[in-house]
Amino acid sequence: MSNITETAAAFFEACETGQGWSSCAQYCTTDASFSAQSEAIGDITELSAYADWMQGLLTILPDGSYDLRAFATDTERNTVVAYAVFNGTHTGEGGPVPPTGESASSDYVYAMRFDGAKIAHMTKIWHSGIALQQLGWA
């Protein structure tokens, strides 16, 4: 990748389509960290674990997709921000309850901070409580 914008876009696509850490790792430092003030994923501290969580989520919500609404690079702070809406229906096995057939449409933001050419930390800004209610999980 020639710059952080391209790297962030490639990571975002790989992560949001459920390719897991095996595909996302190439865009990140080996010890890339993760944070979120969100009940559903607040305990995840490694970006590798988050990428694999997304992979698992897309087995529970097999029609899961995103609508990218904004994508911006702040070169002064070496950060790329992506705002999207995730949509999916709980028809797959797994998760906290049997398939509900309910759908969620959930706004979220990724703030990806770079160390050189690779993502060193990502923060996800997401109100998981609303998504869990929409899916019939809460």
**Stretches in the chain below the pLDDT threshold 70:** 1-2
Centroid of chain to Cα 65: 11
Percentage, residues of the chain above pLDDT 70: 99
**pLDDT the model gives residue 100:** 97
**pLDDT the model gives residue 1:** 40
Domain boundaries, the chain: 4-134
**pLDDT the model gives residue 2:** 54
CATH 3.10.450.50 is the classification of domain 4-134: yes
Q: What is the pTM of this model?
A: 0.96
Nearest residue to 40 (alpha-carbon basis) of 131, 128, 138, 130: 128
Query: Who's near 10: CB < 8 A, 6+ residues apart?
Result: 1, 27
Q: Which residue in this structure is represented by tokens 């914008």?
A: 5
**pLDDT the model gives residue 133:** 96
**pLDDT the model gives residue 94:** 86
SS3 122: strand
